[in-house]
């Protein structure tokens, strides 16, 4: 981590925790975040839990006198409204209390056919709608084994960087090797750092200030036991956490590990 970039830890709950258990978890995470200075924290519940979670977080903020965590959608549609059954737009996420949205998660790319082009359109729709997108990139095991990791990841980065340019300053990038997601196989900190540095170099070719400011998160089997080592790398500015964000103790331990040394 570099001091100019505030570490960001985001919990992607995926299709776990509805409004009832989600409110309890978010309130606990918000309390822990109040005690953990120097980092930014986001949780991404399923759509149906967003408003209740945002409300619970606001209640903690009122009581503690500071906004402890942000709330993210896990996906969005590119249009603001219309006949798109089952979809949710950026303005709707904002109305539900979100300031963030995850875009192009590998599960969206692999299971729901999202292309680089669609991911770029969603990233733009998020920014235009007033949200900070967390744009996910990452290679499959087959691509890594074939030595194509940087080709694939940098192609995905350029697909958002080329059309958006400096507007990408509102976004955070997340490198999530697909083979490390939910498998317990974490990239070594050196391998992750190599990819993060290559992503930052690609941003830098376009805009040095953008590269210096943009946070690049690592995701894929981040746990309390491995988070400090990953976060100690120069170009790893935080984590996008799946399974370990589903309970407050585990996520809280990751938040504490992310605290900058004082
Ligand atoms: P896990 O932490 O469960 O591997 O999930 C990572 C992820 O996909 C976060 O978006």
Where along the chain do its domains lie?
Answer: 8-258
- Nearest residue to 201 via CA among 211, 190, 189, 191: 211
Average of pLDDT values for 98-121?
Answer: 98
Q: Which atom of ligand 1 is nearest to the CA of 240?
A: 9
Distance 246 CA to ligand 1 centre (A): 11
> Is residue 88 over pLDDT 90?
yes
Residue environment code for 172-190, b if the CB has 16+ CB neighbours within 10 A, otherwise e: bbbbbbbbbbeeeebbebe
Is it true that domain 8-258 has CATH number 3.20.20.70?
A: yes
The predicted model scores a pTM of: 0.97
Question: Does residue 7's CB lie within 6 angstroms of at least one atom of ligand 1?
Answer: no
> Is residue 2 over pLDDT 70?
no
- Burial class from Cβ neighbours inside 10 Å (0-12, 13-18, 19+) for residue 107 reads buried
Q: At what angle do helices 224-231 and 189-206 cross, to 10 degrees?
A: 40
pLDDT at res. 1? 61
DSSP type of residue 244: G
Q: 100 is written with which tokens?
A: 């963030």
pLDDT at res. 218? 97
Q: For 154-181, what is each residue's pLDDT tens digit?
A: 999 999 999 999 999 999 999 999 999 9
Q: Contact at 8 Å (CB) between 246 and 185? A: no
Question: Does residue 12's CB lie within 6 angstroms of at least one atom of ligand 1?
Answer: yes
The residue whose CA has the least distance to atom 7 of ligand 1 is 242
> Is residue 262 over pLDDT 70?
no
The residue whose CA has the least distance to atom 5 of ligand 1 is 242
Distance 201 CA to ligand 1 centre (A): 25
- What is 41-60 written as a DSSP string? EEEE--GGGHHHHHHHHHHH
* Measured torsion, CA atoms of residues 204, 207, 213, 214, in degrees rounded to the nearest 10: -70
The greatest distance separating any two alpha carbons of the chain, rounded to the nearest whole angstrom, comes to 53
């Amino acid at each position: 981590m570099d001091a100019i970039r505030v570490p960001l830890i985001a919990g992607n709950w995926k299709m776990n925790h509805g409004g009832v258990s989600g409110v309890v978890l978010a309130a606990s995470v918000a309390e822990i975040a109040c005690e953990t200075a120097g980092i930014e924290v986001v949780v991404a519940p399923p759509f149906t839990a967003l408003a209740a979670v945002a409300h619970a977080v606001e209640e903690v903020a009122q009581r503690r006198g500071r906004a402890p965590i942000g709330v993210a959608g896990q996906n969005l549609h590119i249009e603001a409204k219309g006949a798109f059954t089952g979809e949710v737009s950026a303005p709707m996420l904002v109305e539900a209390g979100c300031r963030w949205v995850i875009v192009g998660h590998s599960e969206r790319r692999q299971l729901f056919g999202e292309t680089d082009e669609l991911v770029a359109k969603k990233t733009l729709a998020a920014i235009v709608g007033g949200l900070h997108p967390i744009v996910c990139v990452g290679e499959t095991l087959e691509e890594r084994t074939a030595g194509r990791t940087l080709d694939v990841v940098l192609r995905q980065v350029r697909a958002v960087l080329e059309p958006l340019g400096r507007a990408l300053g509102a976004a955070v990038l997340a490198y999530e090797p697909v083979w490390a997601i939910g498998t317990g196989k974490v990239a070594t900190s050196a391998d992750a750092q190599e990819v993060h540095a290559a992503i930052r170099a690609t941003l830098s070719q376009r805009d040095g200030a953008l590269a210096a400011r943009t946070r690049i998160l690592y995701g894929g089997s981040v746990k309390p036991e491995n988070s400090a080592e990953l976060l100690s790398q120069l170009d790893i500015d935080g984590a996008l956490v799946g399974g370990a964000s589903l309970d407050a103790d585990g996520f809280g331990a990751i938040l504490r590990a992310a605290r900058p040394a004082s």
